Structures are given as structure tokens and as C-alpha cells.
Amino acid sequence: MTSSTRVPEAADMLRYLAQRLLALLPTVAVPLVLVFLLLRLAPGDPAAILLGDSATPDQVAALREQLGLNAPLWEQFGRFLGDVVTLRLGDSLFLGKPVVDVIPDYALVTLEISVIALIVALALGIGLGALAAFRNGRPAGRIATALGIIGISVPQFVVALILIVVFAAWLHWFNVGGFVPMSKGFWPHLRSITLPALSLGIAESAFVARITRGAILDVVREPFVTTARSLGVAPRRIGAVHVVRVAALPIMTVAGLLVASLLSGSAVVETIFGVPGMGRLLLDAVGRRDYSLVQGIVLFTGLFVIIVNLLVDLSYSVVDPRVRLGRKSA
């Protein structure tokens, strides 16, 4: 490759990055504005929840005033924008501290579980999907396909409960529930997060398996595969080098989408296992109408999902040289 071709490619990439980063603003802003409005338009008064049954209407009204909940919507929105721009994100109404101080601890827990779950989902899903495709029509392929269908049909919480019964209640290999932080030791920590991560990962692996199977079956029918066969290339080499590499693109797309799915699925798993992650924090915050906290979580998870998908897009050109980001097709 000459330097004259390298410069335009780098420029294309930079232009593409700039476009994606600009597009990030409305992508984050739309859900944020929606969440801001929905929270305030839905019934539920954080001051009344905070003060409980014994509070008088005067006390509730005074707290609403103190929390700025009586201000006109546009004024609250202006304050909210200011909090977003300054990245302070306001104070949690219930926890009494800045949202930016609350989120990191919870986010790290969810991130850790999600990363392990992603690895499990991809390893299991790609393995099953490849088996189903390469052994298509044979008993092993049929079993793998059936497992994929079962996996998609079984709800996440059922997977979690089965894992609890087998690996925690019967075998005592892992904790039934509860969370042990890393500061209490690596192995106790691992014991506490393994089942939540497995629950998430196994539930999502079925989806990966189906996409993998479809992608591989599509690619094996391509002319270049037939050509490779006719040239006498070993089937194993065709599968491992040519087919899998091309089929990797849809699988990578799915991996990007999985991040969003894992984050939303974490709410269920974190509740079942009692893990203090973002999903549970969001559920609690919505239930208590903790406006600032909900907005902060939505902003954080939105940004996270967008950045992960951007990275996935950027990695396309690495996996498949035919893909040139930012260049208009002829």
C-alpha cells in the first residue's frame, strides 16, 4: 500500500469518526429528554415517597419546594441541562449525594458481570452456532440447533433459578445470592458474581448461536468457498480462515447489540442475585422517582452502548479489509 492511498483512508476514518461523534449528541439527547419528560409527567411524587405516611401535606410541599420540584418544567429542564453539561448530573433525591458519585460503584459491578457474560455468550453462542452450521443436517447440528431454540425460549430468570438450584443449593459451588466485593478476596468475589454472569451469558448465547449459524450457512454457499474447495483447500482451513472471518461481521454486530441487551438484562439478574449493579439501581430509582439518578443512569448507559457500538463499527475494517468506513459506495 502506498502513502498516497493511506492518506485518504486515514482521512476517511477521521471523517467517519467525527460524523459518528456528532451523531452521538442527538442519540443521547433524545432518550434523555424523553426520560426527563416521562418521569415528570408520570404520577409519583418523590417528596411524598421520601417523607412517608406520617408526613403532612405542608411538610411534603415544603420538601418539594426545597428539592426544586415546584419549579416550572422549563426551569427544571434548564437545571437538568446545566447538570448534564457540567457532568455533575445533579444530586440523588434519596441518597443525598451527587449522582456522579453514586453511579461508578454500581457501574463497575454491572460492567464486570456484563463482560464475563459477554465472553460466555460469545464463546458458547459461536461454538453452538458453528457446530449447528458445519454439522447442518447431522445429529450434532440438530442438537445444537435445538439447544439454541430452547435457549431463546427460556426466560432469563428461569436460567438464573436453575443455576441457583443446581450450582448453589445442591452443589454449594457458588453463592445463592449476595455480593462480595473484590476487597474481600478474589475467590469469594468470583463465587458471588459467577452465577449472575453465567445467567446473563447463557440466556444471550442462544441468540448469538442463531446468528452465527445463519451467517456461516450464508457464507458457505458463497462462490469463493466453492472455488476454495475446487482448489483443494482443506475443509477445516476453509472454515477456520475464510468462512469464519466473513461470517464474523454479523456476529460482531450482534456483540455490539448484546451490550445493550446485557445491560437491560442485568436488572433482572441483579435483582434475583442481590447484586448491587446499575440495573437494580435503576429499578429502585424509578420506583422512588429519584429523577436525577434515573437521568444519570440513562445518560451513562446510553453513552456506554453508543461508544461500544462505535468501536464495533470501527473494528469491521480490521476484520474484513473490504470494509472501508466513511467511504461512500460506488
Partner 1 sequence: MRHDVRPNRRVRRLIPLAALAAASALVLSGCGADGTTSTGSISDGGEPQAGGTLTVALSATPSIIDPFATSLQADWVIARQVCEPLFDVSTSFEIGPVLAKDLVDNGGGSYTLTLRDGVTFQDGEPFTSADVIASLNRYFLTPGNGSILKSLTTSIEAVDDTTLTITLNTPSPLLPTLLTTAYMMPASVVKDRPITDPVSDLVCTGPYKLTSYAADGDVVLDRWDGYKKLDTPGDGGLGAKNAYADQIVFTPMPEASTRRQATEAGQVDIGGSLSYDDYDSVSSGGVAQAVLLSPTSGSTVVFNKAQGIMSNVAMRQAFLAALNMDDIMLAAFGNPEFYSVDGSIIPEVNSTWATDAGTENYNKPDLDRVKKLLDEAGYKGEPIRWLTTKEDPSWYGPSLPAQQQLKEAGINIDLQVIDRASVIQLRTDPTAFDLFSSGIPTYADPVLLPYLQQTFPGTWVSPDRDALLAKLSTESDPAARKATWEQLQTLVYEDLPFLKFGTSRPLLITANRVHTEHPDELAGWYYNTWLDQS
Which residues in this chain contact partner 1 in the complex, by CB under 8 A? 42-45, 48-60, 66, 94-96, 102, 105-106, 161, 164-165, 168-169, 172, 175-181, 271-274, 276, 280-281, 284, 287-289
Closer of 116 and 269 to partner 1 (Cβ): 269
Q: For partner 1, which is the closer residue by CB, 66 or 226?
A: 66
In the complex, the smallest distance separating the C-beta of residue 67 from partner 1, rounded to whole angstroms, is 9
Q: How far is the CB of 52 from partner 1 (least distance, A)?
A: 3
Rounded CA gap, 164 and 177, in Å? Answer: 8
CB of 94 to partner 1, least distance (A): 6
Question: Taking the complex as a whole, how short is the minimal distance between the CB of residue 56 and partner 1, in angstroms?
Answer: 4
- In angstroms, give the least distance from the CB of 284 to partner 1: 8
Is the Cβ of residue 160 or residue 246 nearer to partner 1 in the bound state? 160
CB closer to partner 1 out of 114 and 145 = 114
CB of 109 to partner 1, least distance (A): 9
Q: 117: closest CA among 198, 177, 178?
A: 198
